[in-house]
Chain A
C-alpha cells in the first residue's frame, strides 16, 4: 500500500549537467534542421526498411532542450519514414530507478539516457551495448579525455556524451570589491584553499549575515556530493606522482585495478584535507551546514563552487539579479583538479534494433546538432573540435573553464560500482562536515566500499 507517508520524491535534481538557454541572451544563429541530414551509421551498418519502433527513455529537460528533442525526432523521421520513435520522459532524479525497473521488469527501452559515471556499471552488467562499431571515423578520438575515460569500459565506448561540465569558484564581484579582493583569472595563478579561506574570513568579518561560501546546491543540498566535495581531498594529491605514492593515491581515489580504495580515500593527505573541510563548518563557520536554496543568487552567499550552468541560471531566473558575477579557477592544496561530469545516452544490450538506434544517436550527436544543443543549454561540449566552432570559448571566463576541463579535469573514480562508491563516500563527507571524527569515518567508508568492490570481479 502506498500511503502519503510512503512517497519518495527528490525535488532537488541530482547530477551534473545543464544550463538553461537564455532565450534572449543573444544566441548565435543556429543551423536549422532543414539542411541537416543524418550522418550515415558507421561502417557496414545497413538499416532495415521494415517498420521499426524505437523506445527512448530520457529525463525532463528545459523547454529549449525539450523542443530540440522534438525536432530531432521529426527530422529523423523525415529521413527514415519506417522508423517510429517513442519517447518516455521522467524526472531526472528518478532516471536511475526507472532504468532499474525497466531492466528488472524485462522490457528496457532501446535507447536510454544515463548519468555519465554509471556507464561502467551498465557496461559491466551487460545492460548497454558497446558502440565502437557504430561510430563515424574519428569520433572517439575527438572526445574530451576525461569524458572518454568516464564513458568507456575495457577500451570500448559505451555511451555517447551529451556535454561536459567542470566546476570553478564563482563569486559575487560586488562583495569582493567591498573588501578589495581581486581573485585570479588564470589557472596558473589559482588560489590554494588556504588563500581562499583567508578571503572567506575577511568576507565574514565584513558582513556576518552573508555566508562567505554557499553550501553545496548539489544532491540534497549541504555537504555530501562527491562531484563537488571530493575536489578538496583529490586536490591534496598529485596525478603526476609515482603510482605507488600516497600523493598519487590521494588523487586517484581508487586503485588502478579497481579493487580497493583503502589507502586512497583515507590516505594521510585525504585525512588532512578532510579535517580542513570539516573546519569550514565546525570551526570557521564560513559555510552553512545545510543546504540553502538559491543562497548565492539571492545574495545570501558571496562565493559558490559550481559549473558554468550558473551563468545561464542567473540570466533566465534572475533577469534582474542585480549583481556582477566573477569566476576564479578552482583552488587546491597540492595540485589543481576538477571533477568532470555529463549525461550520456546508450543503446540497450537487449535492443533488437541496435543499428537503427545507433543511426539515431549518430544523428543527434553529429556536429550540427551538438551546436544546436549547445545553443539550448550553453554547457561545454564534450568533443574538442566543437570548441573550435564556438567563438565564445576564446575569451575569459569561458576560455578559463574550457582550459580547466581540458587540463585539470578528471572523471570520478572509474569503477562499475560507481553508484555504491558515491553513496558511501557522500554519507562520509556529510558526516565529516557535521563533526564526525575524520579518520575513523574515512577509514570505515573505505572498508565498506572495498566490501562492495569485491562483488565486481574483473
Chain B
C-alpha cells in the first residue's frame, strides 16, 4: 500500500513546497522528502491566477463530458448488436472492431491528423473527442457484460411483446450497470489525461487541455517550474480520483430489474 501511495504523496507534498525545497530533500530520506517543511500556497495561486489553468480545466470538463456520454451511447448500442442480435457476418465484423483496438496511436497519428484536416475540425472541441467515441475496447467490454445477462429475462419480455429497444433499455442496460460504470471511469480517465493528440491537433490555444498546459510550464533553458508543475498535476488528479472513488459506490450487485410485470 505504501508502495502505491508514496510517489503520489510526494507529488502532493511537493505542490506545497517552494521551488528550492522540492529536490533539496529528495534524499537522503527524511520526513521532509515528502512533507513540506514550509508549506506555501504560492504554487496554487500561480497556476490558477498567473497561468489561468482554470480555462484548461473547463476545456477538459467539456471534452470529458462529451466523450463519456457519446462513448457510452455509441459503444452500448454496437455492443448490444454484437451480443444479442443475429445477422450474417457478425463475428467477422466484431473481429474488425477488435482490430481497431490494436493500432499503435503514435503510428497513425499523422494520418488521423490529415483526416481531421479534411473534415476541417482542427480548431474545435470535436477534434479532441470525436475520434475516440467509437471505442473498440469499450464495445468489447460492454459486449462481454451483455453476454452475462441471463437470456430468460429477455425471452420472457419478447413473449410479452416488448421491442428490441425496450429490452435494451429496460433490461440489458440496468443489469450491466457495473460494466457501464467501468467504461465511464475508463473513458473519463483517458480523456482527462490525454496529451499527445490534443497537443498535435488543437490549433487554438484557448481550447487546449490541462496536460498540455502543464507541459508549457517549462520554457527553454530555464529550470522547469517544478512547483507549478506539481501543483497543477495535483489539481489535475483530484477530479479523476474523486470520480473513481465515488462512482464505484454505484456498482450494484446483479440486481435483477426485470421488465416482467
Residues of A near any B CB (own CB < 8 A): 1-4, 6-20, 59-62, 65, 88-94, 97-98, 100-101, 104-107, 165, 292-295, 297-298, 307, 309, 312-313, 316-318, 320-321, 343, 379
The answer, yes or no, to whether B61 is at the interface (CB within 8 Å) is no
Set of chain A residues within 8 Å of B113, measured between Cβ atoms: 101, 104-105
Say whether A293 contacts B211, CB under 8 Å. Answer: no
The interface residues of chain A lying within 8 Å CB-to-CB of B24 are: 294, 298
Residue B126 at the A interface, CB < 8 A?
no
B residues near A19, Cβ cutoff 8 Å = 221-222
Cross-chain pair count, CB within 8 angstroms:
151
Q: Is A6 in contact with B196, judged by CB distance below 8 angstroms? A: yes
Flag if A92 contacts B219 (CB, 8 Å). yes
Q: Is B41 an interface residue (CB 8 A)?
A: no
CA distance A425 to B136 in the complex (A): 40
Stretch of B4-12, B198-206, B245-253 on the interface side: B198-206
Residues of chain B within 8 A (CB-CB) of A14 are 220
Q: Is the CB of A6 within 8 A of B211?
A: no
Which chain A residues border B199 with CB–CB below 8 Å? 90-91, 94, 97-98
- Residue among A14, A16, A65, A101 with most chain B CB within 10 A: A101
How far in angstroms is the closest Cβ of chain B from A96? 12
Known: A13-B224, A88-B204. 11 other contacts (CB 8 A): A1-B103, A4-B189, A8-B195, A11-B218, A89-B216, A90-B199, A101-B110, A292-B23, A294-B22, A318-B19, A318-B20
Give B150-205 interface residues, CB cut-off 8 Å to A: 189-190, 193-197, 199-201, 203-205
A15 in contact with B220 given A298-B20, A317-B20 (CB within 8 Å): yes
A15 to B101, CA, bound (A): 36
Question: In the complex, are the beta carbons of A11 and B229 less than 8 A apart?
Answer: yes
- With contacts A1-B135, A19-B222, A298-B23 taken as known, whether A8 is within 8 angstroms of B196 at the C-beta atoms is yes
Partner of B136, one of A1, A61, A106, A298: A1
A102: nearest chain-B partner, CB-CB: B203
Is B105 engaged at the interface, CB distance under 8 Å to the other chain?
A: yes
> Does B215 touch A at the CB level, under 8 Å?
yes
**Residue ID in chain A nearest B224 by CB atoms:** A11
User: Nearest chain-B residue to A217 (Cβ)?
Assistant: B223
**In the complex, are the beta carbons of A1 and B117 less than 8 A apart?**
no
Residues of A within 8 A of B136 (CB): 1
